[in-house]
Amino acid sequence: MRDYYHIKINLPGGIASPGYLKDILSASWNANVRKVRFGSRQQLLMTVHYEDMRFLESDFKKLGIFYEVNTDRQPNIVSSYCGEDVFRTGQWLNASEYHSVLDSFDFEQGFRPGLRPGLKVNISDSNQSFTPFFTGNLNFISSPEPHFWYLYVRLKQSNTVFKWDKLIYTNEIGRLAKVVEECMLDEGINEENALKAAVSERIHYVSQQSTQELELPSFSLPYYEGFNRYESRTWLGLYRRDEEFSIEFLLDVCELCLKTRVGEICATPWKSLVIKGIEDQYREAWSNILGKHNINVRHAANELAWQTEDHNGDGAELKNDLIRYFSKNDTRTFGLCFGIQTRPKSEVFGSILIRKRPLLRIGQLPLFSVYDLYYTENFNPNSRAQVLFEKGLFKIHLPAQLERLCRRFNNQRSRDTLKTMLSEPDEAKTAVKAVKTAHQCPDCLTVYDPEFGDILGDIPSGTAFEDLPAGYCCPTCDSGKAIFLPIELTRSSNLEPA
């Protein structure tokens, strides 16, 4: 018999009313639960002792709360609503539009057993980068046409993503999602053309042709903690280093929301909370609640850029170890987000991915774990293409290699910026002429110039890069020859007027 059970309660779109959340938390408190967490798909998570489980089940049944025990058959609907208003994009998408989409999912009328979608559904504003775009099976992304959405489908257990032929009208998203799910899960259709044909035979929905391709913004994770002004009000971002929120604190939050007419509490994919619409007259009351429960805000920005698996203490512990290393070494992580994966089939979001795997097994018992480091194409976390950086690292070596990968990203960004700056030279003053090709280490920017060779490595001048030994390493950071990149060395000559 299990000593503890993992409970998951979906919060569609990451939105919970204070009254609904208060009911859940009160029932959990009565079942001796003292802390809860929020998952990477914006759901509420808790762990319950088996002796208390019957009390919790009884209360949840009375309250009509749907929950799952030790399973995730009905994934939560993820949305970018948590960033609406606070990270303003200026597009047509607003709060009422999000609610229209969520209302189109008829949770009471047979959306498969359990009354919830069985596919992962993402609802995203195309102009934000706070929530992921393609981690769902059905990814609806706002288009430039008001009230119409792109749909990108990712087949089950696959990284293949394809675009739906037409734009989908807001109120039709739930109906279409239900039919696509029936085709994929009930009938096992997992091929693009077959799926499109099957859906078109079963449903007619309001749509229109797409006149332009989807353009996503470059990734930039905003700082989302503490009190922040927007328009004439304030929003509050709450993050916990151990990813756990005490029920006592959250009950006080719900009570204050109800007293001050704050109608919604939003969970984010970063396992944190956003509370919008705090009026100036109640700002002190919110500060008092934080003080009462000793809640610290304004953690370092690099702490907020991590995503770990749900119900996983190992991932959270590793995250904190790596953050301490970054802080000690003052490592720059701006523009990056990190995902830690300790289970083979789990999914985390990040431009840099840390995957734990057993080096040895005795039966089903894993022994001596190692870590593989990956980064996504162009360090874009919304890319499904992943590139291996280092494989089989022991835990003690992981922080330094992770820092090295961060340096590679920063150097790449610097090169891209420099190229942009030099793309339009002042031709009236300078003429630039490429004179020869060299090779550069992407990690430390050391250049190997065949004209000079490598004195430290006993490579004589005149040795072409192709003729270097296979085991040649960068004299500065020891990176291998294979990762060096070709570059053009240039000289500039000033053009003086005659």
Q: Alpha helix locations (H) across 104-190?
A: 173-181
pLDDT above 70: percentage of residues in the chain: 91
pLDDT band, very low/low/confident/very high, at 107 (cuts 50, 70, 90): low
Sheet with 233-238: strands ordered across: 15-16, 265-267, 273-278, 233-238, 226-230
User: What is the average pLDDT across 303-315?
Assistant: 92
Residue 358 and residue 360: Cα distance in Å, rounded? 5
Number of Cβ atoms within 10 Å of the Cβ of 446 = 16
Tens-place pLDDT, residues 402-431: 999 999 999 888 777 666 666 655 554 444
- In the chain, the amino acid numbered 108 is E
pLDDT above 90: percentage of residues in the chain: 65
Q: Is the pTM of this model over 0.75?
A: yes
User: What is the average pLDDT across 94-102?
Assistant: 93
User: What is the average pLDDT across 220-228?
Assistant: 92
How high is the pLDDT of residue 275?
97
Residue 487 and residue 340: Cα distance in Å, rounded? 34
Sheet with 386-393: strands ordered across: 306-308, 338-341, 352-362, 365-376, 386-393
Q: 66, 116 in Cβ contact below 8 A?
A: yes
Query: First vs last Cα of the chain: how many Å apart?
Result: 92
Q: What is the DSSP letter of 75?
A: P
Residues 6+ apart with CB under 8 A from 497: none
pLDDT at 497 over 60: no
| Per-residue buried b or exposed e for 312-324, using 16+ beta carbons within 10 Å of the residue's own CB | beebbebbeebbe
User: What is the average pLDDT across 26-50?
Assistant: 96
Tens-place pLDDT, residues 148-200: 999 999 987 777 899 999 999 999 999 999 999 999 998 999 899 999 999 99
Q: What CATH fold (topology level) applies to the domain 4-74+222-299? A: Sulfite Reductase Hemoprotein; domain 2 (3.90.480)
Tens-place pLDDT, residues 316-362: 999 999 999 999 999 999 999 999 999 888 889 999 999 999 988 78
pLDDT band, very low/low/confident/very high, at 498 (cuts 50, 70, 90): very low
Residues 6+ apart with CB under 8 A from 299: 225, 239, 241
pLDDT, mean over the chain: 88
pLDDT at 376 over 90: yes
| Per-residue buried b or exposed e for 95-112, using 16+ beta carbons within 10 Å of the residue's own CB | eebbeebbebbebeeebb
Residue 67 and residue 78: Cα distance in Å, rounded? 17
Domain ranges of the chain: 4-74+222-299, 88-209, 302-411, 425-494
Three-state DSSP class for 229?
strand
Q: What is the DSSP letter of 52?
A: G
Q: Alpha helix locations (H) across 423-441?
A: none
369 or 2, higher pLDDT? 369
Residue 285 and residue 144: Cα distance in Å, rounded? 40
Tens-place pLDDT, residues 229-276: 988 899 999 999 999 999 999 999 999 999 999 999 999 999 999 999
Q: Strand pairing of 306-308 and 338-341? A: parallel
Domain 425-494 has CATH 2.60.120.10: no
Residue 5 and residue 63: Cα distance in Å, rounded? 20
User: What is the average pLDDT across 19-32?
Assistant: 97
Q: Helices 173-181 and 192-202 meet at what angle, rounded to 10?
A: 120
422 or 126, higher pLDDT? 126
User: What is the average pLDDT across 86-111?
Assistant: 79
Superfamily for the 302-411 domain: Sulfite Reductase Hemoprotein, domain 1 (3.30.413.10)
Q: 63, 26 in Cβ contact below 8 A?
A: no
pLDDT band, very low/low/confident/very high, at 461 (cuts 50, 70, 90): confident
Residue 102 and residue 123: Cα distance in Å, rounded? 9
